[in-house]
Amino acid sequence: MRLVFMGTPDFAVPTLQALAAHGHDVAGVFTQPDRPSGRGKNLKPSPVKTAAQELGLPVYQPPKVKSPESLEILKELAPEVIIVVAYGQLLSKEILGLPPYGCINVHASLLPDWRGAAPIHWSILKGDQRTGVTTMQMDEGLDTGDMLLKTELPIGEDTTTGELHDALAQAGAQLLIATLEQLHKGKLPRTPQKGPVRYASLLTREHEKIDWARSAQDIHNQIRGLNPWPGSYILFREETVKVWKSSISAQARGDGAEPGLPALKDFKPGEIIAWDQQGLLVQTGEGLIRIVEVQPAGKKPMPARDFFLGRRGQAGESFG
């Protein structure tokens, strides 16, 4: 099929590559303008732009895709369908209605669950045990269009956002290819969205700081849900420290108390009660959590135990 692809981050790259590999006629690739990056603030192309150039595809980077100039370009390209994967700009009614087969979005959740900007993060932050990808016929609402096809993936108890992101990106690419195959055959189902809706809002700095009054499970979900971006953080002796990896202790899982530990009633949330080769055991509002890997400001990630002992930490000290 002749199509235009719109996407920007790493998540969209496997879909673009799959379209080219399956022989679709990608008339043009729209992506966000180059952005300043790094200490030198040099302009950096989006992952989709880099992938498109490697494939020899024409690239367009309008600051505003809703502009009359962008609409004219799309009319000249004359796509049968527009594919949108994490593009980062809203499409106008004119663009949505331009291709004969409309605009199809690859969304990283099982719609109508987790509409919005950060569905992968929030599925882990909330402790979901499954998620997936949905192809959707776009309309003017926020992820409200008719569902086309879905594929489901499990979420492991220690799965990070980064790991789930990569798995969903590959699954989304294959699902989009299957969607276009059925569209070409005239057999593509369309199902209106019904049922409970959750919204995956943009993450803010407030989501990053660990609140030790929460349960061990909630904190574990927060740490893995914000890995690799933007990361959770704690304070230790007024030093800001990122936390990248944790695990739930046997006591927090309800499998019995950790052997050799002092009475938990003597500790408050945030206090470090013990350590072992795997990490630091910290009291939470409900159960113990083991902090496994941390990163002090300006340093590389390191085992939490090495960080703590390197600063001559003592049992009973508290993470802020």
As annotated, the binding site for (6S)-5,6,7,8-tetrahydrofolate includes 109-112
- Provide the token pair at 289: 């959590």
What gap in Å lies between CA 149 and CA 133, rounded to an integer? 8
Q: How many CB atoms lie within 10 A of CB 313?
A: 16
Q: Which of helix, strand or coil describes residue 69? A: helix
Whether the upstream peptide bond of residue 196 has omega within 30° of 0, thus cis, is no
CA neighbours closer than 13 Å in the CB half-sphere of residue 225: 24
Whether the upstream peptide bond of residue 262 has omega within 30° of 0, thus cis, is no
- Provide the token pair at 188: 């593509």
Residue indicated by tokens 């926020």 = 142
Phi and psi angles of residue 155, each rounded to the nearest 5 degrees, phi first: -115, 115
**Which residues is 191 bridged to in the sheet?**
147
- Where residue 293 falls (left for φ over 0; alpha for ψ -120 to 50; beta otherwise) is beta
Residue indicated by tokens 């809706």 = 197
**Per-residue CA distances from 94 to 29, 74, 101, 102, 177 (Å):** 18, 10, 13, 10, 25
Residue indicated by tokens 């989009």 = 176
Q: Which residues are annotated as a binding site?
A: 109-112
- Provide the token pair at 245: 């990896």
